[in-house]
Structure 1
């Protein structure tokens, strides 16, 4: 199983940090040159994306990020491997990640997408069901609520093929994969969460995100901001009946943690 690292050409510093992490964990990395939002042709970025979507217009940094992940999926499908791990270059891996990622023997048959990271604030809760043991020290659980971020995930061939089949996209890549509120592919991808997580984006441990710098901040007292928040609330409310039924069936809101 290969580990694909998405890395900007202008960030050799991040490549060095990731290579050092991987070496310490006994892992190898296959570098995927990232699409750079600063230098990419805007028309080429726009060609792949709808003008508007459930979360509004996709910022150019998120468009470039999505196309970078496409490059990783294409590289994966050019091999005979059953699974791959995709990493962004701003992720911090747990000291126990090496033993888990050395092979895919812990991945049950039929699971196509596993989120390996904890994204968001400490203690964030995600609705999960169907808890299963994954090796000695980990569990897997089926995701039923939003848990975005795409800095570290395991993907199987059918899931990569499904994601590559799309022609035009109306969501950032992490929302398409891990947000049931507005992703039409979420149910088909059926993502799972690794417990505890083995990765954390560095923006949650005090470092800045490159993508964040390409986003135009929305001022809170504007019609655009209000519309976006109302749309998001509407998507959240649509899921409430389904989530209540899942809770009645044994699903649990589970606090996200990262393995030491």
Structure 2
């Protein structure tokens, strides 16, 4: 399958770009830079265009911050780049990650996957989710998650997933990584590939700008939060049961 590696990077983050360029060169990996949306320059008009505030206040427990909106719009650019390029899938990376020594083998690992997928998690930066070993893939293991982990610093999407995500996210009301946890709403079929080939660098204390990506304390709508948690628990369990049955049939 044809693929491309896409790096999301804002114009002001030149040091991050240089660090990533060094890692890609060391791994012998070709990449394309996608200009990420800078939340510092995000206009109120653009926010109003893309955020469904009524749905946000009804179904999410805090108002979206400009950084969360900018991040979502940046990933939408990457999905569109994938579709425009004509390749089969894209490896999408944010610019504050550390690549494993075997990152250059990732396309081979992906080619060896013999179960249905359209999205692959390459990192799990905010704590471990329970997984079930699903199938071997060369020197790696494909896993299914009880709950898809938060964090979008590194993942793979194919054309099917990118098309569905673009169609369903013209307006947003939750952060991107939370939306991906509600995978059934976006037509996603999510697996993980372990050992993970990507780590988020704030775990290694590397980047001075990681505060832009670390969740902060926000004013919460407590009732909405607990109502949505209960809804998520129920629907996720139901959908996982259906997905497991489908895996067995295949």
* TM > 0.5: yes
1:131 to 134, 157, 175: 134
Distance in 2 between residues matched to 1:194 and 1:145, nearest whole Å: 15
1:12 to 6, 11, 14: 14
3-state SS, counterpart of residue 130 of structure 2: strand
**Which protein is richer in helix relative to its size?**
2
Asked if the contact 2:184–2:239 (Cα under 8 Å) also holds between the matched residues in 1, the reply is no
2:154 to 152, 155, 169: 152
Q: How much has 1:119 moved relative to structure 2?
A: 1.3
Per-residue CA distance 1:102-149 (angstroms, 9 max, x = gap): 67422436310000012114xx2x2334611112x1111222314111
Asked if the contact 1:61–1:212 (Cα under 8 Å) also holds between the matched residues in 2, the reply is no
Unaligned stretches of 5+ residues in structure 1? 251-260
1:93 to 92, 99, 108: 99
Distance in 2 between residues matched to 1:99 and 1:140, nearest whole Å: 15
Distance in 2 between residues matched to 1:152 and 1:55, nearest whole Å: 25
Which residue of structure 2 aligns with residue 175 of structure 1?
178
Which residue of structure 1 aligns with residue 200 of structure 2?
201
Q: Compute the TM-score of the two structures, normalised by the length of structure 1.
A: 0.79
Asked if the contact 1:131–1:142 (Cα under 8 Å) also holds between the matched residues in 2, the reply is yes
Unaligned stretches of 5+ residues in structure 2? 245-250
* 1:83 aligned onto 2:89: yes
1:209/1:120 CA distance change after superposition, 3 Å: farther
Per-residue CA distance 1:2-48 (angstroms, 9 max, x = gap): 10000010111111111111111110110001111101212112311
1:232/1:174 CA distance change after superposition, 3 Å: same
Which residue of structure 1 aligns with residue 189 of structure 2?
190
1:158/1:10 CA distance change after superposition, 3 Å: same
* 1:114 aligned onto 2:120: yes
3-state SS, counterpart of residue 91 of structure 2: strand
Q: Over aligned residue pairs, what C-alpha RMSD do you find?
A: 3.0
Identify the range of structure 1 (73-82 vs 210-219) with the bigger mean alpha-carbon deviation: 210-219
Distance in 1 between residues matched to 2:159 and 2:239, nearest whole Å: 31
1:133/1:214 CA distance change after superposition, 3 Å: closer
Aligned length: 236
Asked if the contact 2:110–2:137 (Cα under 8 Å) also holds between the matched residues in 1, the reply is no
Asked if the contact 1:32–1:71 (Cα under 8 Å) also holds between the matched residues in 2, the reply is yes
Distance in 2 between residues matched to 1:198 and 1:191, nearest whole Å: 16
Q: How much has 1:234 moved relative to structure 2?
A: 3.8
Distance in 2 between residues matched to 1:206 and 1:93, nearest whole Å: 15
Which residue of structure 1 aligns with residue 144 of structure 2?
142
Distance in 1 between residues matched to 2:18 and 2:214, nearest whole Å: 26
